[in-house]
Structure 1
Amino acid sequence: MNNTQEPFALLSAIAQRSAESAAGLPAQQDIQTYWSGVGFTLGGVKMVAPMAEVAEMLVLPEVTRMPGVQPWVKGVANVRGRLLPLIDLNQFFDGDKVTTSRERRVLVVEKGELYTGLVVDKVFGMQHFPADNFADEIVEDAAEFSEFLVGSYIVNNEAWAVFSPFLLAADGHFSNAAAS
């Protein structure tokens, strides 16, 4: 019986020494929540669209022009067997024709029957912002887009306007792409 106590006593001693030399748990820190969106630029303004409102991001595909539409409608593209109307947001907002750039990308918006691509200047990918950095104020540089903005995030003295593609999709001018 003494032999069975010896291994147990040895294990108990090892456990005791381990507990004495173990480092304590780190102090509990407050968990910060983050808001995520897709970062992009439009007319030189940094913006971010909610993740829930962007179905995917694409490199600008080959476009087939369409007759009888507004000049800001670039045309349609075949994306995996679906016709994706492409809207040049720079032209939609200020009418200026933007030069083609290799950095231009498409944010695909899909909501109910709506399936469209918004052509933007550049996409930064997924951006994460501390949720408590949200402000209802519209960034001054983004005033021309204010109808479709829901606020902004300011991180490292850099403002990101929160752009809602769903608000844009609900706009009557946007949904009427026929040339007048």
Structure 2
Amino acid sequence: MSTTASAFDVLAELSLTAKPGGAGNKLDAEAQLQWSGIGFSLFGEQFIAPVGELSEMLEIPASTRLPGVQPWVVGVANVRGRLLPLFDMAAFFGGKLSSSKRQHRVLILERDSVYAGLIVDQVFGMQHFPLETFQEQANSKLEAVTSCLSGCYQLSDSNWQVFSTAKLIEDPRFANAALS
């Protein structure tokens, strides 16, 4: 065995001597005091979906219309070899997308056997909220959306409604997109 310690041995020894209350643990504690989600807008209101409920966001891809479906079903798109059904969320809730078409985005919901693209007005990306700003009661002005909300985060002058994709999936209207 060589008298010169390998880089691995040095790192292993350092990890054993590191103090449990070091700077890294302080950062971990601060990070645990925040909640993160993907921010988006619909009807001029700000919503946030938990990070784990959405797999990605993208511009609206070219799609093919489907016959015999609800008007809020835009069609299907080929996204990296998978057929992605696209749903206009504003139309689903009884309205119209409000921002310019250039800003519209698709949030991809991939949960259990559901793979769906939710078209929204605009996406703001990752948002972080202090846990103490959470309120269990959502305060959206849009009654049609309240069945999919699970609280809100209040920051200074802005409210971010927590949008639950699990509640959306459970909605019988969403589950049955075929015309009756």
| TM-score when normalising by structure 1 | 0.79
| Structural mapping, 1:145-156, within 5 Å | 145-156=145-156
Q: 1:125 to 1:97 in 2, by over 3 A?
A: closer
- Stretch deviating more after TM superposition (165-174 or 133-142): 133-142
On the 8 A contact 1:60/1:119 being kept in 2, the answer is yes
Q: Aligned partners of 1:105, 1:153: CA distance in 2, in Å?
A: 23
On the 8 A contact 2:70/2:177 being kept in 1, the answer is yes
On the 8 A contact 1:77/1:85 being kept in 2, the answer is yes
Q: 1:67 to 1:99 in 2, by over 3 A?
A: farther
Q: Aligned partners of 1:66, 1:146: CA distance in 2, in Å?
A: 28
On the 8 A contact 1:91/1:98 being kept in 2, the answer is no
Gaps of 5+ in 1: 1-27
On the 8 A contact 1:72/1:95 being kept in 2, the answer is no
Q: Aligned partners of 2:100, 2:116: CA distance in 1, in Å?
A: 19
Count of aligned pairs between the two proteins: 154
Counterpart for residue 23 of structure 1: none
Q: Aligned partners of 1:100, 1:130: CA distance in 2, in Å?
A: 31
How far did residue 132 of structure 1 move? 1.2
Counterpart for residue 158 of structure 1: 158
Paired residue secondary structure (2:103): coil
Would you identify which runs of 4 or more consecutive aligned residues in structure 1 move more than 4 Å?
A: 95-100
Letter in 1 for 2:157: N
| Structural mapping, 1:40-51, within 5 Å | 40-51=40-51
Counterpart for residue 88 of structure 1: 88
Q: Identity, % of aligned pairs?
A: 47
Gaps of 5+ in 2: 1-25
Q: Aligned partners of 1:42, 1:99: CA distance in 2, in Å?
A: 9
